[in-house]
Each structure stands twice: as C-alpha cells, then as structure tokens.
Amino acid sequence: MIKAVIFDLDNTLIDFLHFKKVCCSSAVSAMIKSGLNIPKQKGMEVLYSLYHKYDMEDSTIFQKFLTEVVGEVDYSKLAHAVNAYRKARESVMKPYPKVRKTLALLKRKGLKLAIVTDAPKIKAWLRLTAMGISDFFDVVVGFEDTGRKKPSKLPFKAALKKLGVKPSECLMVGDNPLRDMKGAHLLGMKTCFARYGFEGKIPKGKWDFEIENVSDILKIV
C-alpha cells in the first residue's frame, strides 16, 4: 500500500528547462544592452557551456560568464544580468498544469508528500514557495542533506526516514530514468517515470509506471 509519494522537483513539478532558458535569455540580453559585445546566440551558447561544465545551480555563473567573455567581472553588467534574471524568474516560476490540484488530492487521500532534489535546499524552497505549493510537502531533501546526488541511495533514504515509511510503501515520481528511477529502484521503492518532463531519447531503465501528465498519479495511488 502506498503511504507516501516522493517527487523530484525540476522537470517534474516545474518546467525547469523552459524556466532556465527564459531567465538566461533575459540575463544575456540585459548584459548586451549594457554594452557587452557578443551576439545573443553566442552568448547563450557560452553561458550554457559553462552551466554544463560546472552546475545548473551554480550561483556564480554570470561571474564565470563575464570572465570567459571579457576576461574579468564587470560588476555593472553583472548587476544587469542578475536583475534581469530575477525579474524573468518571477514571471515564469509556475508549476506544470494540474500540479496544485493533484497535490491537494493526494493530501486529501492521506498521503505524505516529499521532495528529493539535487538542488541546494534553499533553491528548492524558493521554487516551492514561489509556486505556492510548499505547504503540501512534509519533507524536502536537498543536496546538502546528504552531500550526494541521485542515483545515490542516500537522498532517498533520508526522505524515507523523515517520512517514516518503508521503501515498499513509497512511490517515487521523477523525470530522469538514470537518476530518479534508478536510485529509487535500488531501494525497492515503486517508481513512476514522468515522461512529460524528459526531452530526447529515453535511456534504458526500469520503472513501474509511466505518466504523460502529473494528474495521472491519481490513477496509480
């Protein structure tokens, strides 16, 4: 019997790829308007190459970007980038359709809900509160809780311990077969692949359920 549902956050509850693209585009445009001499497309390519080199959650990415492009951190351009990013973030920080309703119905069923994310805990909470869905969750496990990223068992174990449920009593919902599904499967949890959040060719993996919309979870539990 399922007593709890653990969700990944990015690309499971929020369209993170779209969110990131809009925010980064605004930041690069703002730097160009403030005098940065680089074509917009080239700027986006450099920025994303740095994200891939370091981390999509890197809080100093624009400093690294300016150092890469002009050889130093221009604080005027940095300020324009940060302000533009934050402004864009406010406009696109929204959950996928039906997320709020689905979470509310899951809570009404008496299920415990949790988040297990590779993102820093503060960023996870910032996203959850900005989307107005933080109150639905009993537990939020971020990177610093274990110092390990999925598919390590440790983040999942931490969530299960805080929820007070056995692996067999928990459903993991995530968009990444290599991290979310694999890590949960190793512990014996039920797994649900959020197909709508994954782009590209799906890698081989094992999961118990597959959904095309977050509300499809209600048919499983």
| Total domains present in the chain | 2
Where a domain ends, among 70, 92, 114?
Answer: 92
pTM value is 0.88
Specify whether 80 is located in the same domain as 145: no
Task: Give the residue numbers spanning the domain of 209.
Answer: 4-15+94-220
Specify whether 134 is located in the same domain as 25: no
Yes or no: say if 190 and 208 are a contact pair by the CB < 8 Å rule: yes
Coil, helix or strand at residue 197? helix
Return d(Cα 185, Cα 208) in angstroms, integer.
Answer: 9
Yes or no: say if 174 and 12 are a contact pair by the CB < 8 Å rule: yes
Q: What is the pLDDT along the chain (221 residues), one digit of tens a residue?
A: 999 999 999 999 999 989 999 999 999 999 999 999 999 999 999 999 999 999 998 999 999 999 999 999 999 999 999 999 999 998 899 999 999 999 999 999 999 999 999 999 999 999 999 999 999 999 999 999 999 999 999 999 999 999 999 999 999 999 999 899 998 999 999 999 999 999 888 888 889 999 999 999 999 99
Where a domain ends, among 68, 92, 116?
Answer: 92
The confidence score (pLDDT) of residue 201 equals 84
Specify whether 210 is located in the same domain as 103: yes
Specify whether 212 is located in the same domain as 105: yes
Where a domain ends, among 64, 92, 120?
Answer: 92
Q: What is the pLDDT of residues 144-196, one digit of tens each?
A: 999 999 999 999 999 999 999 999 999 999 999 989 999 899 999 999 999 99
The confidence score (pLDDT) of residue 90 equals 87
Specify whether 68 is located in the same domain as 102: no
Specify whether 10 is located in the same domain as 82: no
Return d(Cα 53, Cα 126) in angstroms, integer.
Answer: 24
Specify whether 143 is located in the same domain as 65: no
The confidence score (pLDDT) of residue 64 equals 97
